[in-house]
């Protein structure tokens, strides 16, 4: 579905770069990718690294791209959208990865029947291992959804949800890597506290999380069953789990997702 289409990125940050990498790895031509990025160093880096077309001004991209991918911070969404209004028409597909910004907000900003798909990826897109959710706006077609799915399937796993569920996605998988990195850091620090060299503790902590995640993904078993398999009666794991339970480990994780989801709602003005 992407054959013959051009994709324009408004914003050339890490997530835009990850998507570009995925597109190029999947055989998409760099000549069909354009990026608007205000920072000179970033423009130079992207064009020298990936061979894509770079511009300073958003309008230079928005006028020409068939698919416009909005990859800027949600705090500047209103000003960016206002600057694009004059060149957006219903025949242009708008894909937004702006956290917390609803399809309705974008549609109202353009007020011309714009076709919008909202997307929530996460940072493992940088290594083509993202968890991404997509949802359609009021005017988006099934083909628009399929185009968004094709783009983001090149950087990981994609699910389609209703927009009312997107704030929960932001709190879970959007912010989730931050929780996992904090957990890895804590595991490594604990190893150092108990006498391991820092590099060894870090290596073991990372591989423990990678291996455990792969087991969950590849076996398809419920995490509780996998946990039971490593928890022997009267053993070391149950002693550690008891400490986690006393500290409300699971409750704190759920609270973190709640807080991030609520912040997503605040960003969208809900």
How much of the chain, in percent, has pLDDT values that exceed 90?
79
Same domain, 163 and 48: yes
Domain boundary residue, one of 118, 134, 167: 167
For residue 236, give the CATH number of its domain.
1.10.3730.10
Please indicate, yes or no, whether the overall pTM of this predicted structure exceeds 0.85. yes
For residue 60, the SS3 value is helix
- Answer yes or no: is pLDDT of 184 > 80: yes
Identify whether 1 is part of a domain. Answer: no
For residue 31, give the CATH number of its domain.
3.40.50.720
- Residue 125's domain comprises 7-167
Helix (H) / strand (E) containing 241? helix 236-246
Cα maximum dimension of the chain: 68
Identify whether 2 is part of a domain. Answer: no
Annotated binding site for NADP(+): 10-15, 71-74
**Helical H segments across 85-197, by residue range:** 103-110, 142-153, 166-169, 176-193
Annotated binding site for NADPH: 58
Same domain, 228 and 136: no
Predicted confidence (pLDDT) per residue in 102-124, tens digit = 999 999 888 777 899 999 999 89
Annotated binding site: 10-15, 58, 71-74
Of 26, 36, 102, the closest CA to residue 64 belongs to 36
């Amino acid at each position: 579905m992407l054959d013959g289409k051009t994709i324009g990125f408004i914003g050339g940050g890490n997530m835009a770069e990850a998507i570009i990498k995925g597109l190029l790895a999947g055989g998409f031509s760099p000549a069909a990718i354009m990026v608007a990025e205000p920072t000179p160093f970033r423009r130079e880096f992207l064009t020298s690294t990936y061979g894509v077309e770079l511009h300073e001004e958003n309008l230079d991209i928005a006028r020409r791209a068939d698919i416009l991918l909005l990859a800027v911070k949600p705090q500047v969404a209103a000003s960016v959208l206002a600057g694009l209004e004059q060149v957006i028409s219903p025949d242009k597909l708008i894909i937004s990865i702006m956290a917390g910004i609803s399809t309705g907000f974008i549609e109202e900003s353009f007020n011309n029947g714009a076709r919008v798909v909202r997307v929530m990826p996460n940072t493992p897109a940088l290594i083509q291992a993202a968890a991404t959710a997509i949802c359609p706006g009021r005017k988006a077609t099934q083909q628009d959804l399929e185009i968004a799915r094709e783009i983001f399937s090149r950087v990981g796993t994609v699910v389609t949800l209703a927009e009312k569920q997107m704030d929960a996605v932001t709190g879970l998988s959007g912010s989730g890597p931050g929780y996992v990195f904090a957990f890895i850091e804590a595991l490594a620090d604990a190893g150092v506290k108990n006498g391991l060299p820092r590099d060894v503790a870090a290596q073991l902590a990372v591989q423990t999380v990678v291996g455990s995640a792969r087991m969950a993904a590849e076996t398809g078993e419920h995490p509780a069953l996998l946990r039971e398999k490593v928890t022997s009666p009267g053993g070391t794991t149950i002693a550690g789990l008891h400490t986690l339970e006393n500290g409300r480990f699971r409750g704190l994780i759920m609270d973190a997702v709640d807080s991030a989801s609520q912040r997503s709602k605040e960003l969208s003005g809900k």
